[in-house]
Amino acid sequence: MLTSKQRAYLRSLANALEPVLQVGKDGVGENLIVQADGILEKRELMKGRVLENSPLSPREAAEAVAAATHSEVVQVIGSKFVLFRVQQDKEKRKIELPKTKKK
């Protein structure tokens, strides 16, 4: 689960990204999930876009892709969404999240 500070940090990183995944009239299918999984494996942070002819809303599409790829929805604005998945292998991590405060 991401904290608000981590979410804000990821939003700032995603600001410069171009959408690399498009959800179209077929919705969230197997091919789309495989593609998203590969992108998240390589980049950790991904921006996607939902086309007008999609049967899903941007929020629904983002949550469906996030659930299928074991990632988290960072942001949904308009027709675009941002997903993030932490690499399990610490050697491969590209994005270092801000630390959370312990109470």
C-alpha 27: how far from chain center = 16
Q: What is the pLDDT of residue 102?
A: 62
Instruction: Tell me which H or E stretch contains 45.
Output: strand 45-50
Q: What is the pLDDT of residue 38?
A: 93
Given this model, what pLDDT does residue 67 score?
95
Task: Express as a percent the part of the chain with pLDDT over 70.
Answer: 94
The per-residue pLDDT for 103 is: 59
pLDDT: which is higher, 94 or 37: 37
Chain-centre distance for alpha carbon 94: 15
Q: What is the DSSP letter of 78?
A: T
8 Å CB contact between 74 and 84: yes
| pLDDT for 99 beyond 90 | no
Give the residue-averaged pLDDT of 43-70: 94
Domains delineated in the chain = 4-84 (3.30.110.60)
Q: What is the rounded CA–CA span in Å between residue 81 and residue 64?
A: 12
pTM for the full predicted model:
0.87
Q: What is the mean pLDDT of residues 62-68?
A: 95
The secondary structure element, H or E, covering residue 30 is helix 30-43
User: Is the pLDDT assigned to residue 50 strictly greater than 90?
Assistant: yes
